[in-house]
Amino acid sequence: MKVLVTGVTGQLGFDVARVLKEKNVEVFAANRNDFSLTDYRKAQEVMRKFKPDVIIHAAAYTAVDKAEEEKELAFKVNGEGTRNLAKIAKELDSKFVYISTDYVFPGEGDNFYATTDKTAPLNVYGASKLMGEEAVREILEKYFIVRISWVFGVNGKNFVKTMLRLGKEREELRVVSDQVGSPTYTYDLAKLLSNMITTTKYGIYHATNEGVCSWAEFAEEIFKLSNIKTKIIPIVSEEYPTPAKRPKNSRLDKISLDENGFNRLPHWKDALKRYLEEIEL
């Protein structure tokens, strides 16, 4: 099996390429120099040459707040860029994995969102990722859309690394406690994806680590496991205004994983513990 992975300089793409190589899968680890997502011809040229059986599209414009002022670019990369790759996957008859986000939902109430629930993004980034989903659904049949949230991986910036840095600098830290969701460890997700692509169980999935928490509870656990004494002061979202509005409820139900015989990811506390060990090495 030949797999082309986009975004390998990012958190998820890096781990997906790593896990596939560990499994001796032939991988084309594509970065921006191989092709930009917005350069259809170049992407087509590279893919026609490699002829992937599977494309795992982990690259994206991910600057959530900046996207509010760079709307055009976010839509170009996440919407049109994904459409480009989907068209190429169609031409080459490759399976396609599109990584999406909890931000496609409005985050109301406190129920777990089903894969079939109505989408209604609150911010530009979420709308641009939804545009990518729509292109995939429109063009392809052999696709997996995998929605994830609160990502942390060894390669790149994330909430865990930010907390570890701030924990060394501050005695107190105000962290939002009214946004609830589930962290996703890229290594655990990469293992699931490496399994998923060997099947034909196409469709939409939610695949975060198990368990839910608020950002404040996530920070508490990071500090507990790292023996950092900084005091967390829980605050509400209104006390921490950001350019992009965030959903308060990011609970995603994983029933589609169960129904299709895939193992759910381990609990986020277990994932966090392994991640902290990994980044300490």
Ligand X SMILES: NC(=O)c1ccc[n+]([C@@H]2O[C@H](COP(=O)([O-])OP(=O)(O)OC[C@H]3O[C@@H](n4cnc5c(N)ncnc54)[C@H](OP(=O)(O)O)[C@@H]3O)[C@@H](O)[C@H]2O)c1
Near ligand X in 257-276, by CB under 6 A = none
Q: Does 74 bind ligand X (CB under 6 A)?
A: no
Residue 145 phi, psi dihedral angles, 5° rounding: -105, 120
Distance CA 34, CA 4 (A): 11
Distance of CA 217 to the CA centre of its chain: 20
- Please indicate whether residue 185 is annotated as part of the active site: no
Residue among 12 and 122 whose Cβ is closer to ligand X: 12
CA dihedral 261, 262, 264, 270 (to 10 degrees): 130
Q: Does 82 bind ligand X (CB under 6 A)?
A: no
Would you give the binding string for ligand X spanning residues 35-54, x where CB under 6 A is met? -xxx----------------
DSSP H helices in the chain: 11-22, 40-50, 71-74, 81-92, 124-139, 159-169, 186-196, 215-226, 255-259, 268-280
Q: Does 107 bind ligand X (CB under 6 A)?
A: no
Residue among 3 and 60 whose Cβ is closer to ligand X: 60
Distance CA 252, CA 146 (A): 11
Nearest-approach distance from CB 9 to ligand X, in angstroms: 4
Q: Does 148 bind ligand X (CB under 6 A)?
A: yes
Choice from 94, 119, 123, 149 touching ligand X (CB under 6 A): 149
Residues annotated as part of the active site? 125
Residues found near ligand X in the complex (CB under 6 A): 7, 9-13, 31-32, 36-38, 58-62, 77, 81, 99, 101, 129, 148-151, 156
